[in-house]
Structure 1
Amino acid sequence: MQNLSLSTFTVNVLAISAILFVVALGLTALAVVYMYWVDTHQKKHTVRRNYPVIGRFRYFFEYLGEFFRQYFFAQDREELPFNRAQRSWVYRAAKNIDSTIAFGSTRPLNQPGDVLFLNCLFPTIAQDHVPPAPVVIGEGYARFPYAAQSFFNISGMSFGALSQPAVRALSRGAAKAGIWMNTGEGGLSPYHLEGGCDLIFQLGTAKYGVQDNEGRLDEQKLLAVSAHEQVKMFEIKLSQGAKPGKGGMLPGAKVTAEIARIRSIPEGQDSISPNGHVDIRSLDQLLDMVHRIRELTGKPTGMKLVLGSADWLDEICLKIHERGWQYAPDFITLDSADGGTGAAPQSLMDFMGLPIAASLPVIADKLVEYGLKQRIRLIVSGKLINPGKVAWALAMGADFVVSARGFLFSLGCIQALQCNKNTCPTGITTHDKDLQRGLDPQEKSERVYHYATTMVKEVGVLAHSCGVTDPRSLNRHHLQIINETGLPEPMTDLYPVVRTRPEYDLP
């Protein structure tokens, strides 16, 4: 009888356990179904939308990493090309959440080349803050000069390299933030225009969208682009950060029918731009092209380059004075050797060109030396995605800073390093519709807006701590740089302030 009772108890326990297991399994299944439904219908998190349920593990492991990184994972400053601390700031800024940190900086503050700002004893107080004033480009030389509202803007990224929803989000966010967006060399798409932002049209070496059958400039096509009021300036791209000396590379898998139509190229084939302009083979031809485009369109025209050899700088400045300021570019966009978002040969990406830390002082000083600083505005780019880097660039002589990868992070880029393929998991650099659906342009445009406005605000915080009222009032006297011994020295010792030659000084 006792054995029978025990057997009955065991059966009951097993039955109850089985029922509980089935119930637990059912609840788990319902939970998974619910999470799947939520993930596929929400628009804030691209990874979760593209990878329902399993995408949640990314955030879980990221959370655990805060506790286990000291044992197993890389520290904040050890990841490349952008470390976790840099990316985290952009993510917080884009989401408009608290950007403060606790327990001290993870920045070593003693690495050679690092920059420190010098706070003053009496910082600028709130009632003395001055909003950054617009800077006019092309005034007196272009029929339609451009008053640029912000010192921080979106750098060149082509439709083709970027997906349709990414371009739409950037365009909308830029319009709301009052910043410009560079089209990149891939031509003008309806998605650039859709958001209503100011645009810089870039003419790469292939002149996509404005080329004739021989790859030269088609003036009628250029005038059709210029007819759009949103197109404020034109930029002749001579070279770019990821691949100085080589043209753009768009894999055939990303050349859709729409992209082929916009670029006037064959569908489905690799699109490789020439490594140079067929109709610009000398400084005189370059100045002629700048003058030609500005005269045709009436809009400011400049050039983009990565600085390598610098022996031509004196020559071009002299030519501008000899030929007249009407032949000068209205702006120079200086890219860094560590720039670039898309496909490039590793040999060029690793070894070619000068980084912005070395090239910016050279260009800025040459413009001052030849009295051209007010005539030619200086725009810089290259891993300048955080307030300290942007403020440094302004202090070293830049008029504007533009960023590509910073704005990609604001869209939700997770640095998966698949920009050169058609497999970007966040939908930013892919034309796979299944992956694109995770990127909602309306939601992400808000992040673009918040990133831009937070950047301007925090650069202002640095400026005010240095005692100036406007970020553009920062200069090299506000900076020190860590030398080879790990000690700070005045930036003016390394890069002395240059004076304009008397013969080129304005009366």
Structure 2
Amino acid sequence: MSEMIGVFHVSIGVLVALILAILLSYWYLRDITQKRHTVLRNFPVIGHLRFFFESLGEYFRQYFFLGDREEMPFNRATRAWVYRLAKNEGGILGFGSTYDINQSGALIFVNAAFPVLEAEHQPTPAVLIGDGWCDKPFSARSRINISGMSYGAISRPAVQALSHGAAMAGCYMDTGEGGLSPYHLEGGCDVIFQIGTAKYGVRDSQGKLDPAKLREMAAHETVRAFEIKLSQGAKPGKGGVLPAAKVTEEIARIRGITFGVDSISPNRHPETGNMDELLDMVVQVREITGKPVGIKTAIGGWQFMHELIEAVRRRGLYCAPDFLTIDGGEGGSGAAPQALADHMALSINEALPRVVDALIESGLRDRIKVIASGKLITPAKVAWALACGADLVNTARGYMFSLGCIQALRCHQNSCPTGITTHDPRLQRGLVVEDKAERVAGYTRNMNKEIEMIAHACGLKHAGEFKREHVRMVQPNGQSISLNMLYPYPPIR
């Protein structure tokens, strides 16, 4: 009996070895005869190790080889800061900071000799948008808010957690261009409805703006304003891209598109080929909805602001947008061509002060509120934006980190390991809405708290008092310069 078992084991071993030999032979012949990969043609079989290690390289660098301040697009120190804020663990560190205050571009806030005592603190006032220019102006209570992330680009539980968390903390949530889903409304937070170039959610059968659907969206009490999206920092000149794998039946129904087919938005609104036509659209949406209407765009130069100001002066203040959302070229996206993501549009560092200056110089600063966006995920960067002249700040990736994002860089592949940007139920299971909503709220509250802490250290009673003279920026020579010297306030006409 034992001899039979031994023979059987030997036979199994021989069979396994034979199968492996056949597979390796097939693999060898396939590699050496194919013409696409030079490495595999010259080094059959073992050449596959090169592609294997290349695929794992970014993850090894992220966790083992790069320093806390080296990684892109967000380094480990910045992500850890956001995680701590979201978990209410505080932005506290010991021994000393790893932030290099001598590097070019480093931000330094001007501390006051006599900072504001706690008894002298004042609440940061809300920002009133559209007051006097529409039937239902909007009061934004938080200086930090959730930037546009479409249902489709992010998952159902991610939208739910953001909605509930925003309601807890009193910030607003931008829908992104994918339309309004029941999950945006579920938490009862303030919502800004974004009208993208494909008019998802408010389009007719030809893809044009449908006034009846627009009124339907405006009828929701928590939809506070509308934002006409021209472009975003990650891909100016190209519309949104949602791969077919992420176009579920529900998402197709919400957007008004075909199920299971790539959803690609036009690269601009077909009906707005010049500034007058854009302002016509602003007025049309405001008159239909009775709510504030703004424009979101990346800035590539000064032509846009020059044309906008000239058109508003010629047509009158009623035609002006109620707010401008300025996205920097470093902004993120679920999917974007690398040529655009790497090289198109000005950084928020340059675009924001110039936009604010143009509004000050033209006398339109009080009429048009400014919202800044583009890698502004820490209290220091938000305080910088407020000092430059922004009224509010939006962030998407900051809130993604608060949801548990680990920067796996798979947003476009429907395989996000944290369940944030995937529609795979198995992966979504890890995102517990109740827990993540608390973290969204914690991030918002602690961001506002630390922004105010910086303001108090600068001698200000609240964050609404930030000016350019409260911030210095380190130059390539290692010396810092005040923002009001780097970007002098323009004269008011």
Q: Give the alignment's TM-score, normalised by structure 2.
A: 0.87
Describe the superposition over 1:110-163 as per-residue Cα deviations: whole angstroms up to 9, x where unpaired: 111222101010001101111111111000011000111111110000000010
Following superposition, the deviation at residue 421 of structure 1 comes to 1.0
Partner in structure 1 of residue 196 of structure 2? 204
Following superposition, the deviation at residue 474 of structure 1 comes to 0.8
Describe the superposition over 1:14-72 as per-residue Cα deviations: whole angstroms up to 9, x where unpaired: xxxxxxxxxxxxxxxxxxxxxxxxxxxxxxxxxxxxxxxxxxxxxxxxxxx9xxx9xx6
Partner in structure 2 of residue 320 of structure 1? 312
Unaligned runs of 5+ in 2: 1-59
Partner in structure 2 of residue 275 of structure 1? 267
Q: SS of the residue aligned with 1:401?
A: strand
Following superposition, the deviation at residue 483 of structure 1 comes to 1.2
Does residue 477 of structure 1 match 2:482?
no
The amino acid of 2:477's aligned partner reads T
Following superposition, the deviation at residue 499 of structure 1 comes to 2.4
Q: Which of 456, 463, 485 pairs up with 2:455?
A: 463
Following superposition, the deviation at residue 381 of structure 1 comes to 0.5
Following superposition, the deviation at residue 316 of structure 1 comes to 1.6
Following superposition, the deviation at residue 206 of structure 1 comes to 0.3
In structure 1, C-alpha distance between the alignment counterparts of 2:301 and 2:353, rounded to whole Å: 14
| Structure 1 contact 384–401 (Cα < 8 Å) conserved | yes
In structure 1, C-alpha distance between the alignment counterparts of 2:266 and 2:483, rounded to whole Å: 39
Q: SS of the residue aligned with 1:91?
A: helix
The amino acid of 1:301's aligned partner reads V
Describe the superposition over 1:300-335 as per-residue Cα deviations: whole angstroms up to 9, x where unpaired: 001000000212322321221221111000000000
Does residue 168 of structure 1 match 2:160?
yes
Partner in structure 2 of residue 126 of structure 1? 118
The amino acid of 2:389's aligned partner reads G
In structure 1, C-alpha distance between the alignment counterparts of 2:116 and 2:403, rounded to whole Å: 33
| Structure 2 contact 420–428 (Cα < 8 Å) conserved | yes
Does residue 415 of structure 1 match 2:407?
yes
Does residue 495 of structure 1 match 2:492?
no
In structure 2, C-alpha distance between the alignment counterparts of 1:137 and 1:196, rounded to whole Å: 20
Describe the superposition over 1:139-192 as per-residue Cα deviations: whole angstroms up to 9, x where unpaired: 001100011111111000000001000000000000000010000000000000
* 186-195 or 316-325, which deviates more: 316-325
Describe the superposition over 1:383-417 as per-residue Cα deviations: whole angstroms up to 9, x where unpaired: 00000000000000000001000000000000000
In structure 1, C-alpha distance between the alignment counterparts of 2:480 and 2:300, rounded to whole Å: 28
In structure 1, C-alpha distance between the alignment counterparts of 2:165 and 2:454, rounded to whole Å: 24
Following superposition, the deviation at residue 75 of structure 1 comes to 1.3
| Structure 1 contact 139–145 (Cα < 8 Å) conserved | yes
| Structure 2 contact 125–464 (Cα < 8 Å) conserved | no
Q: Which of 412, 429, 444 pairs up with 2:421?
A: 429
Q: Which of 79, 85, 93 pairs up with 1:101?
A: 93
Q: How many residues align?
A: 433
In structure 2, C-alpha distance between the alignment counterparts of 1:187 and 1:115, rounded to whole Å: 37
In structure 2, C-alpha distance between the alignment counterparts of 1:161 and 1:298, rounded to whole Å: 29
The amino acid of 2:71's aligned partner reads E
In structure 1, C-alpha distance between the alignment counterparts of 2:240 and 2:481, rounded to whole Å: 40
In structure 2, C-alpha distance between the alignment counterparts of 1:132 and 1:498, rounded to whole Å: 26
Q: Which of 285, 292, 305 pairs up with 1:293?
A: 285
| Structure 1 contact 200–233 (Cα < 8 Å) conserved | yes
Q: SS of the residue aligned with 1:402?
A: strand
Partner in structure 2 of residue 18 of structure 1? none
Please show how residues 133-282 of structure 1 align to structure 2 within 5 Å.
Answer: 133-282=125-274
In structure 2, C-alpha distance between the alignment counterparts of 1:235 and 1:491, rounded to whole Å: 29
Q: RMSD between aligned alpha carbons?
A: 1.2
In structure 2, C-alpha distance between the alignment counterparts of 1:493 and 1:177, rounded to whole Å: 36
Describe the superposition over 1:399-452 as per-residue Cα deviations: whole angstroms up to 9, x where unpaired: 000100000000000000000111000000000000001101111000000000
In structure 2, C-alpha distance between the alignment counterparts of 1:312 and 1:172, rounded to whole Å: 36
Does residue 450 of structure 1 match 2:442?
yes
| Structure 1 contact 371–500 (Cα < 8 Å) conserved | yes
Partner in structure 2 of residue 342 of structure 1? 334
The amino acid of 1:121's aligned partner reads A
In structure 2, C-alpha distance between the alignment counterparts of 1:407 and 1:392, rounded to whole Å: 19
Q: Which of 380, 405, 410 pairs up with 1:388?
A: 380
Q: SS of the residue aligned with 1:496?
A: coil
| Structure 2 contact 100–106 (Cα < 8 Å) conserved | no
Partner in structure 1 of residue 365 of structure 2? 373
The percentage of aligned residue pairs carrying the same residue is: 56
Unaligned runs of 5+ in 1: 1-64, 502-507
Does residue 86 of structure 1 match 2:87?
no
Partner in structure 2 of residue 504 of structure 1? none
Q: SS of the residue aligned with 1:407?
A: helix
In structure 2, C-alpha distance between the alignment counterparts of 1:138 and 1:98, rounded to whole Å: 35
Q: SS of the residue aligned with 2:364?
A: coil
In structure 2, C-alpha distance between the alignment counterparts of 1:315 and 1:194, rounded to whole Å: 40
Following superposition, the deviation at residue 85 of structure 1 comes to 0.8
In structure 2, C-alpha distance between the alignment counterparts of 1:306 and 1:98, rounded to whole Å: 33
In structure 2, C-alpha distance between the alignment counterparts of 1:484 and 1:276, rounded to whole Å: 38
Q: SS of the residue aligned with 1:480?
A: strand
| Structure 1 contact 215–278 (Cα < 8 Å) conserved | no
